[in-house]
Amino acid sequence: MGQFIQLFVDGLSNGSIYAVLALAIVLVNQATGMINFAQGGMAVLSAYATWWLTEHGLPLVVAILVSILLSFVLGGLIERFVMRRFERGDPDTAVVVTIGLLTLITGICGWLWTYNNKQFPSLFSLKTVDIFGAAVSVRSIGTFLVIVAIMLLLQALFLGTKLGLALRAVAINPQSAAFSGLPVGRLLMAGWGLAAALGAVAGALVAPQLTLTPGMMDSALVYALAAVILGGLSSPIGVVVAAWLIGVLENLAAVYVHFIGYDLKVAVPFILIFVVLIVRPQGLFGRKVVVRV
């Protein structure tokens, strides 16, 4: 039982990181209709920025905050100067552009900081606390709580502020939003910036565990995409639940299902997807998209 609880909490913590990345992907998708495969790469760049700042003497919390801010700016700039050209065009081309961005950003990280692993300081202590007889790490609980807090903040932003209202308007119908005087371009930049800032949080939380390398987020990106498919692109809550489900299930499967084991647990979300696709093609919580011709 102790092991089960431990696996469950660790799974929730991993799932939270996938959830943040998945939320960033959904955010961009809602605003622009594209899937940003570079989201993980941008998060890695943010993590490197954080690491670089701590190496230069900044305290970790300050470094993370500065890096979140920088990521916001960078995300906006990428939207304006790279993605803007492809937004109204073919979505497949836009996807290839984000893959190019992913390669470029990974390449920049590798070039500036080499491909060797770097130790990243942890925000939380590595101690464990005793919960119902299970030794649960403070880091897992901390990660989970931080991410729940971020989700509440996001929810407040989207439902309680004027900026959130404008962002939602642009997501639903950019043309009408423009007609009613909203600065659509700037709002899209803000959307990308927010997504990048979310990625920065995910990067800072996952880097101590995985150690920092340019390809650190590749598998996290795969998990996040799986969560996006399972949860349905139109449902942020669904995506978060799916990410937690994936995090917990893969951890349990790694230990209790002999064939899967630790090395193949990345297959778990995709087995899940195959099952779900056959039963509910629109995702667990998504709506069926109906296109008017």
Partner 1 sequence: MSSITGFLSRAWVRWAITAVVAVALLVVPLLFSEYTNQNLARIGVFAVAVLGLNVVMGYTGQVSLGQIFFVGVGAYVTGYGATHDWNIVVVFLASVLVPGVIGLVVALAAARLGGLAIAMVTIALPIIGVPLAKRLSDFTGGSQGLSSAFSNAPDWTGLYNDQWQLYLVIVIGGATYLLTRNLVRGKYGRAFAIVKSNEAVAASMGISPYRYKVLAFTVASLIGGVSGFLYMAVIQFTSPETMTFSHSITLLASMVIGGAASIIGSLLGGAYYVLVPQWSNDINPNLTELLQGALLLLTLFLLPGGLVTLPREIARRLRRSRPDGGPERRQTPSAEPAPGREAVEETPTVGGIPTQRPTERQEQA
Residue with tokens 């893959």: 99
Tokens describing residue 20: 């943040």
Q: d(Cα 257, Cα 212) in Å, to the nearest integer? A: 29
Judged by DSSP in three states, 129 sits in: strand
- The residue among 137 and 213 lying less far from partner 1, judged by its C-beta, is 213
Decide whether 59 or 100 has the Cβ nearer to partner 1.
100
Cβ atoms 216, 17 nearer than 8 A? no
Q: For the CB of residue 98, give the shortest distance to partner 1 in the complex, in Å.
A: 10
Task: Closer to partner 1 by CB, 61 or 267: give it.
Answer: 267
CB 184 within 8 A of CB 178: yes
Most distant CA atoms of the chain, gap in Å: 60
Q: How far is the CB of 236 from partner 1 (least distance, A)?
A: 17
Question: Hey, how many other C-beta atoms are within 10 angstroms of the C-beta on 211?
Answer: 12
Six-digit token pair at 231? 């949860």
Q: Position of tokens 């903040």?
A: 153
Burial of 213 (0-12, 13-18, 19+ CB in 10 A): buried
In whole angstroms, the minimum distance from the beta carbon of 224 to partner 1 comes to: 10
Q: What secondary structure letter does DSSP report for 82? A: I
Which residues contact residue 28 at a Cβ distance below 8 angstroms, ignoring those fewer than 6 apart?
Answer: 34, 35, 36, 39, 191, 192, 195
Residue type, 45: L
Minimum distance of partner 1 from residue 89's CB (angstroms): 9
137: left (phi over 0), alpha (psi -120 to 50) or beta: beta
Give the shortest CB-155-to-partner 1 separation in angstroms: 25
- Residues at the contact surface with partner 1, assessed by CB under 8 A: 34-35, 37, 82, 85-86, 90-93, 95-97, 99-108, 110-111, 114-115, 214-215, 218-219, 221-222, 225-226, 228-229, 261, 263-264, 266-267, 269-270, 273-274, 277-278, 281, 289, 291, 293
Complex with partner 1: residue 21 or 63, whichever CB lies closer: 21
Nearest to partner 1 of 200, 226 (CB atom):
226
Minimum distance, C-beta of residue 158 to partner 1, in the bound complex (Å): 23
User: Of 108 and 138, which CB lies nearer to partner 1 in the complex structure?
Assistant: 108
| CB 45, min distance to partner 1, A | 12
Do residues 44 and 170 touch, judged by C-beta distance below 8 A?
Answer: no
For partner 1, the closer CB: 98 or 140: 98
